């Protein structure tokens, strides 16, 4: 019997890579693409069935997978938080679900989504299925090595990022020595970095180390919202004028790893897993 995999897809390369890997391994792949985030055209080179759905169409999503005999599903790719305001159009099942929520925090919301799908016999698996090689272990990946002061800044950033992640606010912070310049909110990682860059440019003290730090939640559920670093992260850091990008080793996805390292070297950014 052919294995089947369902993917609730947001934007970015992660769902594309997973879908392609799954198809290569002989899976039948079924994509529920979140409108405004996942684009059907991007999946045309991959053998799959694609269905566009708006945020909140929970019943339609369940029926799509069940109609094709899918039992194993995963969530992959970014869903812009602003889509909650622009593309939210719940069906009856989705409306009842939304009415039952106590808050809209990412961790709570997605945990409840998983519970709701479980009721219909749909089980979520690791959201980085087939992408384990994209999660680097501890070490400096770039040619540029960190100074002692930069490492101290990164360690401070880890504490701040972990605290912010534990509060279910975001997974990224930008810090300078023992000061926090910005933390990630609804705008996402890249805009957080650029916002920090604007604040940094207004500062009179520009010779101190500044680090972008990204982490997993303290109790990260591998089924959703894993931290991801990519070329866009490096581009944003370069544009903001920052030269240190650190992420939590073994828990963060770095898509297009070789290209990201080349970009770090091009921009003379210290890129490290800690």
The domain that holds 75 is classified in CATH as: 3.40.50.20
Does residue 99 sit in the same domain as residue 194? no
Whole-number Å distance between alpha carbons of 177 and 10: 35
Q: How many domains does the chain have?
A: 2
Domain ends where: 63, 89, 124?
124
| Domain identity same for 260 and 166 | yes
CATH of the domain at 258: 3.40.140.80
Q: Nearest-CA neighbor of 72 among 117, 34, 107, 38?
A: 117
**pLDDT at residue 250, rounded to an integer:** 92
Same domain, 19 and 62: yes
* Domain limits for position 53: 4-124
Domain co-membership, 180 together with 203: yes
Give me the mean pLDDT over the 220-234 stretch.
Answer: 88
Per the rule left: phi > 0, alpha: psi between -120 and 50, beta: everything else, 169 is alpha
Q: Tell which of 124, 147, 174 closes a domain.
A: 124
- The answer to whether residues 148 and 243 belong to one domain is yes
Q: Given the structure tokens 């999946």, which residue do they identify?
A: 43
Q: State whether 138 and 238 are in the same domain.
A: yes
The DSSP code for 132 is G
Burial, 115: exposed, middle or buried (Cβ in 10 Å; 0-12, 13-18, 19+)?
exposed
Same domain, 113 and 166: no
Check whether 32 has a pLDDT greater than 80: yes
Q: Is the pLDDT of residue 81 over 70?
A: no
Final residue belonging to a domain, choices 91, 124, 157: 124
Q: Does 250 share its domain with 170?
A: yes
Regarding whether 101 and 137 lie in a shared domain, the answer is no
Q: pTM for this one?
A: 0.80
Residues 141 and 176 in one domain: yes
Return the pLDDT at 2: 65
| pLDDT of 109 higher than 90 | no
Token match 């039948």: residue?
Answer: 28
For residue 85, pLDDT over 50 is answered with: no
Report phi then psi at 144, rounded to 5.
-70, 125
| Percent of the chain residues topping a pLDDT of 70 | 95
Q: Do 151 and 260 fall into the same domain?
A: yes
266 and 246 in a common domain: yes
Angle at CA 249, nearest 5°, toward 160 and 154? 35
């Amino acid at each position: 019997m052919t294995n089947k995999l369902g993917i609730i897809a947001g934007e970015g390369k992660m769902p594309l890579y997973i879908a392609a890997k799954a198809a290569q391994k002989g899976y039948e792949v079924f994509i529920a693409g979140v409108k405004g985030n996942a684009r059907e055209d991007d999946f045309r080179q991959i053998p799959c069935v694609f269905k566009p759905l708006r945020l909140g169409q929970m019943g339609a999503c369940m029926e799509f997978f069940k109609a094709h005999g899918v039992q194993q599903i995963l969530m992959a790719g970014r869903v812009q938080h602003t889509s909650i305001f622009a593309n939210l159009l719940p069906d009856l099942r989705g409306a009842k679900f939304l009415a039952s929520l106590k808050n809209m925090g990412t961790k709570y919301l997605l945990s409840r989504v998983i519970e709701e799908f479980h009721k219909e016999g749909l089980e979520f698996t690791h959201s980085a299925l087939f992408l384990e090689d994209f999660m680097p272990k501890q070490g400096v990946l770039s040619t540029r090595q960190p100074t002692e002061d930069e490492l101290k800044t990164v360690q401070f950033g880890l504490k701040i990022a972990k605290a912010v992640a534990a509060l279910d606010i975001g997974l990224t912070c930008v810090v300078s020595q023992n000061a926090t310049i910005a933390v990630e909110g609804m705008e996402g990682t890249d805009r957080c970095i650029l916002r920090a860059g604007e604040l940094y440019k207004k500062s009179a003290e520009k010779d101190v180390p500044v680090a972008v730090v990204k982490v997993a939640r303290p109790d990260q559920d591998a089924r959703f919202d894993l931290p991801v670093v990519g070329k866009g992260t490096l581009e944003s850091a370069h544009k903001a004028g920052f030269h240190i990008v650190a992420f939590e080793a073994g828990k963060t996805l770095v898509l297009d790893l070789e290209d990201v390292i080349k970009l770090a070297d091009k921009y003379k950014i210290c890129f490290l897993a800690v």
